[in-house]
Amino acid sequence: MRNYFIQEAQALKVRLNQVKTFEQTMPMVAAANITKSAQRGIHQLLKSGVREVGQKIDQFIHWVSHGVKPVKAQRQFALLKLKFNAFLDQVDIFADVLTQRGEHETGIWIAGLDALATDALKLKTPFFRPPPLITYLDRGHGAAIRRARTRLPGGKTNPVAVIRVPRERMISSGIGASLIHEVGHQGSALLDLIPSLSQALSTQALRDPKSHMAWKLFGRWISEILSDFWAIAKLGVGATSGLMAVVSLPSYFVFRMNLDDPHPTPWIRVKISIGFGKVMFPDAQWERLDRYWDQFYDLEMVRVDDRKLLRAIEKAIPQFVRLLLKHRSKALKGKQLGAAFDQDLIQPLVLRRQFQKWKIAPKLMKKATPTQVFAVVGQAKVDQKITPARENEILRNMLSYWARKHAFNH
């Protein structure tokens, strides 16, 4: 019995020693690599994981060698295997991200998306220490994030934010909306916005009994709404048009009222996005998008009770938008949330003028930040001033430029 467990534990140790840090195993050109800070965080995580699991295996072998009952040995070996597999789960999370960096062209474009994500997390005032952000592509309709400073399998703290974006959106301005929505989840957590906003919305629900359910639902949806807000604040109308593309589904799903879902009902989610746009970036385009959405999805199709609730929520949106933009949290140091973003740079008139300048002198794009480029291209797309082919060409070139710039600077 003793030799059986020693042999099995030694087999774990052999497999553990095959785990190498990614700089030893991942083939990629320099421009496709992740940032030095992300490399350091992942390297330290894996090295400490190998060391700690290895120590536990050695302790188990030593313990079994001194004679224990089979049932106790089996119980401890099962726990040891769980720890070993939890560590391998951590390895696989980052392996999925880094493997794509070796794909021709795709790896460089993904590194460019890292630059976009990093820029999107910045605010006018540095209220927090930003973590490294890395991106990768995957199948599926939507994006997702594994936030930095949260728990990984096995209990370790994640050293970097890992953002998954849908491959089907490469490469268009729409991928910016999906990516920056996920960045918004990280930013909202760093600003600790959800607890304070949830409290503010609960208070508003008590003050406004006629719209009680609307405020209650805003509170339930606040995490996703904040992320949509972050995307709008960074991209302007490009975020809303990107959202419309994502949630343009059959009517059953667009109007579906699942009150336990943290995501707003898609129909009202677009209405909220438009509501932010009307206040932050005044322009006739918002009324136009609002009309389009109503024409795409006729609310009269919905059963009476759901229609009344959706109308009540829609009616409360302007007041909700004002509440959120004026909100202050401890992390904002007394400033209003809306003032944390540079809204002047994303005004429609500014974006349109910038696009005209770039048409004459395309090299000027290289002086703009990644979010500014995506905002300008997104505005041009909504204005129908750019073809899908030209949109793709511009963004491919800029993603490659940002990746090369990062490689040169690091």
| Residue labelled with tokens 């726990």 | 79
- Helix boundaries (H) for 191-280: 193-207, 212-220, 222-235, 237-247, 251-254, 266-280
Helix (H, G, I), strand (E, B) or coil at 157: strand
CA–CA separation, 378 vs 381, rounded Å? 5
Q: How many residues does the chain have?
A: 410
Return the amino acid letter for 275: G
Supply the mean pLDDT for the chain.
Answer: 89
Give this prediction's pTM. Answer: 0.88
Longest dimension (CA), the chain: 81
> What's the pLDDT score for residue 46?
86
For residue 370, CA distances in Å to 153, 340, 383, 395 come to: 33, 18, 20, 10
pLDDT digits (tens, 9 = 90+) for 116-169: 999 999 998 889 999 999 998 887 677 899 999 999 888 889 999 999 988 777
> What's the pLDDT score for residue 11?
83
> What's the pLDDT score for residue 322?
97
How much is the average pLDDT of 378-391? 94
CA–CA separation, 111 vs 405, rounded Å? 10
For residue 18, CA distances in Å to 40, 85, 98 come to: 20, 14, 18
Structure tokens at 382: 């909504």
CA angle, 314 then 315 then 321, to 5°: 80
For residue 33, CA distances in Å to 172, 187, 297 come to: 22, 23, 43
Pairing of strands 144-146, 133-138: unpaired
pLDDT digits (tens, 9 = 90+) for 202-239: 999 998 888 889 999 999 999 999 999 999 999 999 99
Q: Is the pLDDT of residue 115 over 90?
A: yes
Helix (H, G, I), strand (E, B) or coil at 135: strand
Q: Is the dihedral of CA 402, 405, 407, 409 positive or negative?
A: negative
Helix (H, G, I), strand (E, B) or coil at 133: strand
CA–CA separation, 25 vs 45, rounded Å? 16
Return the amino acid letter for 359: K
